[in-house]
A and B are shown apart, each in its own frame.
Chain A
Amino acid sequence: MTGKTFRPVDETELAGVVAWAAADGVPLEIIGSGSKRGLGHAIDADHVIDMSERTGIVDYEPAELVLTVEAGTKIAAIETQLGEANQQMAFEPPDYGPLLDHPAATATIGGTMAGNLSGPRRVSAGAARDHALGMEAVTGRGEVIRAGGRVVKNVTGYDLTRLLCGSWGTLAVVTRFSLKVLPAPEMTRTLIVAGLTPSAGCRVMGEVLASQHEVSAAAWLPADMAAKSAVDYVSSPGTTVTAVRIEGPPASVLARHDSLRSMLAAHGPVEELHGHNSGMFWKEVRDVAAFVTPEAAVMRLSVPPASGAVVCDRVTASGGHAFLDWGGGLAWCSFAPSPATATAIRDIATSLGGHATLIRAGEKLKAEVPVFHPQPAARRDLSRRIREGFDPRGILNPGRMAMEV
């Protein structure tokens, strides 16, 4: 990159630069800390807009459960501040830094929302986009816009905030987000069952998620991945692990723990993880720690939860590795980079009615396999028209989602 890096001091200045770039059709790459720069196709940009200095909590009222924050603020910094009031971002924002060859704990809220990235609690608490209440942004026209608000119930105009979540910086540069935050649980317990096949694991996860025990997360790991865990209870049995998490006030957690434990005991030996171990285990699942290996490519499949086992079986048969989060609805797959394997894994998602995203891959693989799931023509064209409305010259992160004609 021979271009310049621009660090806007405020949204007026940012709008000025984008308006200039729009006038001349100059493509721009938008980054926060850059920790997810490797996710998506290569961006063909002349200059960089670096939002990493746009940091700070603008407004936080714990009693309102609302946080307004500058887009470049690090997730870690937000979590520290929320922790002081015993609150959290319930969607459990993941840290894909190491998975994408970047340092840990550098991810920003802007990047996390731009990718709509959520951790294990997604299955019970919703995705990142479900916690977005409002935003301020500069469109690809160089115009400052606001949408949404700072309240949870709001049907006032189109929900542009949600539209921008998951748009990977191709519609507008978000400068601020207002987020819904929630009380952090007073107590957490994780129950693990050893030795279940993918299909038995999926069935058990479905069963507990359909129960009245308010399970907050459910994951299944194959034996070789469980063996890599830093948590002894997970690595030592030398077999697969199905994990179920419950959270809440102590009396409630203990009571649910007892009933869940007897439910699970019917399927295999049950162990439990308390405080620190439980936290460490779910962080490993959240951040896909087992797949942080330099040589492997990683894909993420979103499928109907009961189909998770099918993904595991087929990926394993083709020589890859897979584990399940979101009660089976999210399958993480690791494989030796090859377009044929990547396409075969994506086809599994398609055949199950889901979709696949290539999260970690070298430029060579990305040149042959689309990072984002190919869409039917009507939806693809609609998305292109939406983009044209925000960014008519296509100057924001061009190429990243490979939407260009």
Chain B
Amino acid sequence: MTIAMPQPDPGVLAARDSFLGELAGIVPPDNMVTDEAGLKTYECDGLSAYRELPLGVALPETTGEVARILELCRRYHVKVVPRGSGTGLSGGALPLKDGLLLGLGKFNRILDIDYANRCVTVQPGVTNLAISQAVDHCGFYYAPDPSSQLACSIGGNVAENSGGVHCLKYGVTTNNLLGLEIVLMSGEIVRIGGKYMDSDGYDLLGIVTGSEGLLGVITEVTVRILPKPASVSTLLIGFDDLASAGDCVTRIIASGIIPAGLELMDRAAVHATEDFCKAGYPLDVEALLICELDGPGPEVGELAGRVEEIAEDLGAHTIRRAASEEERERFWLGRKSAFPAVGRISPDYYCIDGTIPRGRLAEVLTRMEDLSTRHGLGVVNVFHAGDGNLHPLIMYDIDKPGDLEKAEALARDILTLCVEVGGVLSGEHGIGVEKRDLMGTMFSDLDLKQQQRVKCAFDPDGLLNPGKVFPVLHRCAELGHMHVHRGQVPFPDLPRF
């Protein structure tokens, strides 16, 4: 591990037995994990390069239990790390040695399906896919579809503001959320929004979404559901060079078409996936686009035709339109198998997540190749091209001394490049511990302090998931202080008054 986490509090470690004893008064023994073997199950999330054993694990089943646990933690000054399914890729659920890991997996019930108001209320441990499955027979679905949707929890989706393949047209989690129930470190239960549009007062839904478990523990989620599109058309478009593929993405969007999904794979990704799952991709391409259009039948057909014209105009080498659902699934098979496919050609891989302006795609891909050569590690590119969300997979071998450090250095360079061209450090995976120390490349000290003041409003003692997102931890008392330079801004001298 090459990132510094907050120093464990010796007082908390010393009081472990007494703390766990009181915890046992809140949750039944089956819902607690305290032995080392059991704790190991929780030592990391989807970012497995970072591991730590938590002080203990609690698996509450009710909002009341969560509130009592948080009150107890505050009394003992025990830090709390919330965790959903543990599929996060930025280490947001990385345990702390002196922190309680709060697993929300037992919050797994769908509470209310309301077709008349087109919304579903669930507990946070319900998986993303389970929501769509529950309303599928009535012709509805929940739009954000992260690739881990089979396993990832909706609570985690809210915490990381997850996206997915189809968010180009339908938005990310924050655009599909109607209500939340959260518990603050004080044990207070706060309900935000509901079955209606636009919550009242400050946009607390907005600030909690994507806050990476640092503001409150999510105990209930209400999302909007959409009618499934009437028809879908999927195109596979191959190019001889990356620049033309990038241009194609830009031209499609500029022409007024918003595809449901627009994905790009580079040569290495095409070959790796073809070897892995035989999706039938053309192997003589430098870049392969998957463009999916959905909506009313006549619209989809017309727009697919326009996309084909753009592709032809740019000299596409292959243009195929899926003629059947079976063929459409085959087009997607390779894309969806990309990660395991890369896992087969490389002992380890590191999935990066950053967003850039679409227009800089070709330039960034070229510069990324140079970086890859410079660091001596291969990079495979599979990503959401339509919204500029890159997912370079850096290939390395953890058993090779120095390889992990090289991979981390390359990742830093790639993310810095994203910021340099006007993009951001994370499109959908979050900052967590992974990109925490890069926050300074995007934000000033003032920006970060203001963000932390929001945290102080929710969690004044800084007990909820500390060590994530922010590179420097400030005490709330220090942040609250206002530096007054009286006399330095003479009011009457200001122009145009």
Contacts and interface: CB of A to CB of B under 8 A. Distances in A.
Contact of B256 (A163, A183, A383, A392): A183
A126 interface: yes
A212 interface: yes
B205 to A, nearest CB: 8
Interface in B195-209: 195-204, 206-207, 209
A22 interface: yes
Contact of B198 (A116, A142, A149): A116
A63 B204 contact: no
Contact of A302 (B167, B198, B489): B198
Given A62-B254, A116-B198, A153 B427 contact: yes
Nearest to A66: B357
Contacts of B451: 147, 157-158, 160
A150 B422 contact: yes
B388 A382 contact: no
Interface string B458-497: 1000000000010000000001101011100111001111
A150 B211 contact: no
A37 interface: no
A36 interface: no
B250 interface: yes
A34 interface: no
A306 B355 CA distance: 38
A155 B427 contact: yes
B189 interface: yes
Contacts of A167: 202-203
Nearest to B115: A210
Interface stretch (A12-20, A269-277, A359-367): A12-20
Contacts of B490: 20
Contact of A162 (B203, B389, B496): B203
A290 B424 CA distance: 45
A375 B191 CA distance: 10
B194 A353 contact: yes
B456 A385 contact: yes
B174 A64 contact: no
B190, B429, B430 interface centre (most CB from chain A within 10 Å): B190
A20 B482 CA distance: 12
A375 B296 contact: no
A245 interface: no
A157 B256 contact: no
A58 to B, nearest CB: 13
B470 to A, nearest CB: 9
A114 to B, nearest CB: 12
Contact of B295 (A149, A157, A214): A214
Contacts of A160: 207, 450-451, 454
Nearest to A20: B489
B302 to A, nearest CB: 5
Nearest to A122: B197
A354 B210 contact: no
Interface in A111-163: 116, 118, 122-123, 126-127, 129-130, 139, 141-147, 149-160, 162-163
Interface stretch (A3-11, A76-84, A190-198, A230-238): A3-11
A182 interface: yes
A155 B429 contact: yes
B364 interface: no
Nearest to A146: B447
A386 B457 contact: yes
What bracket does the count of chain B residues touching chain A fall in?
35 or more
A255 B210 contact: no
Contacts of B116: 206, 304-306
Interface residues of A, number: 102
A283 B118 CA distance: 26
B387 interface: yes
Nearest to B231: A212
A351 interface: no
Interface in A11-45: 13, 16-17, 19-20, 22-24
A166 B203 contact: yes
B189 A378 contact: yes
B454 A63 contact: no
Interface string B76-107: 00000000000000000000000000000000
A65 interface: yes
A1 interface: no
A404 interface: no
A159 B158 CA distance: 12
Interface string B115-133: 1111000000000000000
Given A379-B204, A388-B457, A255 B484 contact: no
Interface stretch (B272-280, B405-413, B436-444): B436-444
B254 A355 contact: no
A143 B424 contact: no
Contacts of A100: none
B442 A13 contact: no
B233 interface: no
B201 A383 contact: yes
A123 B427 contact: no
Interface in A348-405: 353-355, 357, 372-373, 375-376, 378-380, 382-383, 385-390, 392-393, 401
Given A22-B484, A249-B302, 13 more contacts: A16-B494, A61-B357, A64-B358, A139-B450, A145-B447, A159-B209, A167-B203, A248-B296, A252-B302, A306-B117, A376-B190, A378-B188, A393-B482
13 contacts: A13-B494, A17-B494, A145-B450, A147-B451, A155-B431, A166-B202, A209-B118, A214-B295, A372-B200, A373-B201, A379-B191, A386-B454, A388-B457
Interface of A: 4-7, 9, 13, 16-17, 19-20, 22-24, 61-66, 86, 116, 118, 122-123, 126-127, 129-130, 139, 141-147, 149-160, 162-163, 165-167, 171, 182-184, 186, 206, 209-214, 248-249, 251-252, 254-256, 302-306, 326, 329-330, 353-355, 357, 372-373, 375-376, 378-380, 382-383, 385-390, 392-393, 401
